[in-house]
Structure 1
Amino acid sequence: MKKKDLLRGIPKVDEVIKQDALFFLLEEKGCVAVTEASRAVLDKLRQEIMALKDEDADSFDMSKLDICRIAEDVADRVKEDEKCNLFPIINATGTILHTNLGRAPLCKEAVENVVEVSRGYSSLEYNVEKGKRGSRHDLVGELIAELTGAEDAMVVNNNASATLIVLATLGKGKEIVVSRGELVEIGGAFRIPDIMVQSGAYLQEVGTSNKTKPSDYENAIITKEQEKELASKESYRGTKRFETGALMKVHKSNYDIVGFTEEASLEDLVKIGKKHNLPVIFDMGNGLMLDLEEYGVREPNIPKSLAAGIDIILFSGDKLLGGPQAGIIAGKKEYIEKMKKHPLARVIRVDKMCFAALEATLMKYRDEKIALRDIPVLNMISSSKEEMKSKAERLAEEIRTANSNLNIELVEVEDQIGGGSAPSVRLPSWAVAVEDSKMSAQGIEIMLRRADIPIVARIHEDRLLLCVRTIAESEFKDIANAFRTGNC
């Protein structure tokens, strides 16, 4: 037997797709998908044969040339090609808002509402009562105002977009005064100064990295008259100055400055803003709606921040709010209305699925107890260490039942919120440590990532840890199946 004989034994594409095993697949997936899969399988087989040495041709597995087996391989290939690149993953890292894993999981009602609204047509921009065109800005504006105390609100596709449209509306051609200690990078190399450049506003830094006083903001304010006076002059830095458009505070949600520090409060900025008739913007970022200090989260929340008298607050929907990715802007109606009419508003608007998930999530906040119970992010944050130990015991038992050869132990851990929120907060918790005498921790980690539903875990001190805070009870059986005897 020579290689050329093996190559002659490869069937043609049209012969493969006529096989009975592919009949229903052709009906379901179409001729193009099955034909392309057939070509791919046959090409792979051809390359395998071409890679053989002549003396190895006799030892080739001839069953690989069986047309029925090839048809089965084609069916498997079609199914593999049909897999989406975005799929569920089990988060066993203990990081609640894991950005790489999609941040906040949605509550049950949000998921149901997305399915209900997206399966057909919807009232996205249609006023049913009046029988004419409506505005998507009206869908959740009143609900956000009710929950936060704002006059009005609008929703865009993320908080970076919210920052962009706020600055473009209130600060284009003007200076925005910001503390040097708050010129944050929000992830992916997106920085506040860069967003400001794109908006057409000019950054006016004040204070130092660790200390910024209220007087620093006030001393930086330039009126229209002063701008004209300075038009022919240069500042001590050799740069042109412009009229001040707003005062801006950025919450340091993804880092912390400790030690010899000072910063101006929202109340300080509101007082200065009123004195000089300037709007005060608070880029909050994390989207915390409730007071979670009881659970160790000492972060500003939206209602209290607005109560301080600020004009505009902006925050994310998929962080501590626990909803879909969105940028939410709330505050004074006069400013929100201008943003709704800005050309950028259409560029960064959100779709019906985002509104469906966001509205269902926000509804939960009408009762704090229900929000803590039903919104996964809040439920995870508020769960006690004792509850986590009990949960870890249940998961450990599931794994032991699946594979008695593993060394299972409960260990104390500290979970984190993640997602650029509350960086210094650590949540005391428990994890299930798994060891296998036949496999390293790295080997187990790889095995779990290759499970039917991939599991992302932690490795600490050469042991694999399954942090239960971020694992749903409904996922226990999937984890146990991944450890079942025969898999490891």
Structure 2
Amino acid sequence: MATTGESVVHGSKARPQDLPSIDKLLRLPATQALIVTHGHTLVADHARHLLEQLRTQIKVDALPVQEIQPESLTLKLQTAIDARLTPRMQRVINLTGTVIHTNLGRSVLPETAIRHLTTMMEGPNNLEYDLTSGGRGDRDSIVEGLLCEITGAEAATVVNNNAAAVLLSIAALAGGKEVIVSRGELVEIGGAFRMPDVMASAGASMVEVGTTNRTHLADYQRAITSRTAMLMKVHTSNYAVQGFTSSVTEAQLAPLAREHGVALVTDLGSGSLVDMAQYGLPHEPTPQEMLSAGCGVVTFSGDKLLGGPQAGLIVGERDLITRIRKFPMKRALRLSKLPLAALEATLMLYLQPELLTRDLPTLRWLTRSQEQVAQMAATLLQPLQTALAGRYTVSLQETSSQIGSGSLPVDRLPSSGLAIAPILSGKRGTGSALDGLAEALRRLPVPIIGRVSDDRLLLDCRCLDRAEDVLIQLDALHTQLA
């Protein structure tokens, strides 16, 4: 094999016997430096894999001998190791126009939650330790007081997501018995999470009443038997039924539930803790409203309109929450210390409601005016035109954002952004050009995610706080496209 400094005839082809042994490759100074940094095991594994790849490539294709020079081998090795140690989960810039984007991690944590989370994870914490008594504590107590103060509930508990909250509530309060639910509320959300399947998994028998578009109070009343344990309402947050419709509210069901001694449970899904209408947004039912209407248990998400980490929050009457908390399934679904820390810090922001649109990213982005978003887009216009000159046109465009993650599905927010179109002689090749641009944006150090619509790539600027996050990457984008 040729060594460092030796001349190689240009165009000569490598042979399998020209490859170094694994021992020789590991003894190269540059490889030794990698071992110091990353340890012998990782470097040796990648070195073996690299040599196997090159050996196969030599047999199948003609490989220039320069490709197996020591400098080339160690560079390939370092590149492979760097790629392997790059986390799969990456921060991205959401310019899709969907504020709470399920595929992009839903709500973004506020800065106070990130700081508190980091502090709590840097060392031991009092997850289940009572600092007052010095004895064992209850992890629910970290957020229960806050949830009760904010919602007016008697008690509260938390699990790892809202699907778990619904499952646990049904299992604990209606396992082996019947749950009455309107046919118009047999929703499917997420990855085939269907209410009938949840009922079966919780060990309850579902009793459907009414029709898809119309359900009346008498339908519930006729369905109640000695086996009935729960009346359930499911907020259809991810779709809307319009036209000739009728449904029964929680306030109408509450007296019926009390009369028959059964639990009234409502699943809000999105779970806003503030009235969105005060910000000029469509109203979304709140846990406070449902509890005031007479619901015994209300479940909702932590990472949607609430603006915190993934969590399933359960609030309601003390005796019902106690039964849920003590149910054996609760331990399997409990919240870990990471989301608990983030949830506590997020809930603390609700004690200062006047500052929410400043401190809570989700609410800040939802309440931005179209004019504010347009100003951000205008800041990016000329630099992006320069970066894409000769290949694409870039123009300002009014557009519509959406809330996302099943929240207020038919409502749109007036927004603004940048429309990017390829410079072509005709329409042929437009799709390929847009795909290439979208891929180049995804390959940036901090990937930028937009959406393709009407033969253009749209970058909606509603969720962009700092123009610098995009501007600093434009040179890299130019290089990607070149």
Instruction: Output the TM-score relative to the length of structure 2.
Output: 0.92
Match of 2:43 among 34, 37, 41: 34
Give the aligned partner of residue 18 of structure 1. 27
Match of 2:437 among 444, 454, 469: 444
Write out per-residue CA displacement over residues 275-302 of structure 1, whole angstroms, 9 at most, x where no aligned residue.
2222210100101111112433221112
Q: Distance in 1 between matches of 2:354 and 2:366?
A: 13
Give the aligned partner of residue 163 of structure 2. 160
Give the aligned partner of residue 127 of structure 2. 124
Name the SS of the counterpart of 2:193 in structure 1.
coil
User: Superposed, which structure 2 residues align to 1:337-352 within 5 Å?
Assistant: 337-352=322-337
Give the aligned partner of residue 48 of structure 1. 57
Give the aligned partner of residue 85 of structure 2. 82
- Is 1:477 the counterpart of 2:480 in the alignment? no
User: Superposed, which structure 2 residues align to 1:5-404 within 5 Å?
Assistant: 6-52=15-61, 60-223=63-226, 243-293=227-277, 294-400=279-385, 402-404=387-389
Q: Distance in 1 between matches of 2:439 and 2:365?
A: 26
Q: Distance in 2 between matches of 1:210 and 1:264?
A: 11
TM superposition shift of 1:36: 1.0
Closer, same or farther in 2 for the Cα pair 1:478/1:425, shift >3 Å? farther
Once the two structures are aligned, what percentage of the paired residues are identical? 38
Closer, same or farther in 2 for the Cα pair 1:478/1:166, shift >3 Å? farther
Q: Unmatched 5+ residue regions in structure 1?
A: 224-242
Write out per-residue CA displacement over residues 443-470 of structure 1, whole angstroms, 9 at most, x where no aligned residue.
2112112222222211111111101112
Is contact 1:19–1:68 with CA below 8 Å preserved after alignment? Answer: no
Give the aligned partner of residue 455 of structure 1. 448
Write out per-residue CA displacement over residues 133-158 of structure 1, whole angstroms, 9 at most, x where no aligned residue.
11101110000000011011111001
Is contact 2:12–2:64 with CA below 8 Å preserved after alignment? Answer: no
Q: How many residues align?
A: 463
Is contact 1:106–1:375 with CA below 8 Å preserved after alignment? Answer: yes
Closer, same or farther in 2 for the Cα pair 1:478/1:271, shift >3 Å? farther
Is contact 2:451–2:458 with CA below 8 Å preserved after alignment? Answer: yes
TM superposition shift of 1:401: 5.0
TM superposition shift of 1:400: 3.5
Name the SS of the counterpart of 2:99 in structure 1.
coil
Q: Distance in 2 between matches of 1:481 and 1:163?
A: 48
Closer, same or farther in 2 for the Cα pair 1:82/1:483, shift >3 Å? closer
Name the SS of the counterpart of 1:86 in structure 2.
coil
TM superposition shift of 1:436: 3.9
Is contact 1:403–1:485 with CA below 8 Å preserved after alignment? Answer: no
Is contact 1:316–1:327 with CA below 8 Å preserved after alignment? Answer: yes
Query: Which sits farther off after the overlay, 307-316 or 472-481?
Result: 472-481
Is contact 1:3–1:49 with CA below 8 Å preserved after alignment? Answer: no
Letter of the 1:107 partner, please give it: P
TM superposition shift of 1:402: 4.0
Write out per-residue CA displacement over residues 239-266 of structure 1, whole angstroms, 9 at most, x where no aligned residue.
xxxx110111000000000000010011
Give the aligned partner of residue 408 of structure 2. 422
Name the SS of the counterpart of 2:27 in structure 1.
coil
Q: Unmatched 5+ residue regions in structure 2?
A: 1-8, 425-431
Is contact 1:213–1:264 with CA below 8 Å preserved after alignment? Answer: yes
Letter of the 1:245 partner, please give it: A
TM superposition shift of 1:24: 3.0
Letter of the 1:248 partner, please give it: M
Is contact 1:126–1:133 with CA below 8 Å preserved after alignment? Answer: yes
Query: Which sits farther off after the overlay, 138-147 or 474-483?
Result: 474-483
Q: Distance in 1 between matches of 2:222 and 2:142?
A: 41
TM superposition shift of 1:33: 0.4
